Homo-oligomer: A and B are copies of this chain.
Amino acid sequence: MNLPEPIDNLVKEFSRLPSVGFRTAEKIVLYLLKKPRFDLERFSGSILEAKDKVDYCKNCCMLTDKSMDLCSICRNPKKDVRIICVVSEISDLISIEKSGNFSGVYHVLHGELSPLDGVGPEHLFFDKLWERLTGGNVEEIILANNPTFEGESTAIYIKRFVKERFPEIRLTQLAQGIPQGGSVEYMDHITLGKAMEGRKEI
């Protein structure tokens, strides 16, 4: 089945996007080709516009309008700047912020340490984080890296640095356990171990 080359190329481009397989990419491309050119100009224009008009927050490295130095969270006077929640990716920040359980601010590292993939400390936004800690206002750092090998390595790296340089800052990590709606039967042994270890009086 030979589709015209520009279509093949476009399907390939779309299938590289996260959560988009080859079939979905094909579906998207056929859908787009039915649209008038005007709509496609707007669509492709908004991709470049987002890239051009958005930058990282000078403080927490979250996304912000280029016209603003600080993101909407860092500009929010209701946020408690004494508590910093460190996340690996912007999507993690969005999930925590949407959950509504946190009133502090964030720091986005934009990745996790992964020596095998060539990601060292110099590739992540650690310097920005140390800078924020030197101000002396920070009372607690909550590590919200994923409980994976890379996430744990990143957390350990932060822990070592903070314990050495800023021993007065409280350092915590998100609790691990059985997620809401999960079943004990199907949990892996590490999760069950952590849940047992972190058990609470009721």
Residue from B4, B5, B10, B49 within 8 A of A47 (CB atoms) = B10
The chain B residue sitting closest to A9, CB to CB, is: B46
- In this assembly, does A97 line the interface, its C-beta being within 8 Å of a C-beta of chain B? yes
Q: How large is the interface on A (under 10, 10 to 19, 20 to 34, 35 or more residues)?
A: 35 or more
Q: Does A114 contact B (CB under 8 A)?
A: no
A:35-88 near B, CB below 8 Å = 37, 40-54, 63-65, 71-72
Query: Which listed residue, B27, B45, B63, touches A33 by the CB 8 Å rule?
Result: B63
Kindly provide the distance from the CB of A71 to the nearest chain B CB, expressed in whole angstroms. Answer: 8
Footprint of B on A, CB under 8 Å? 1-7, 9-10, 13, 17-20, 24, 26-34, 37, 40-54, 63-65, 71-72, 89-91, 94, 97-98, 110
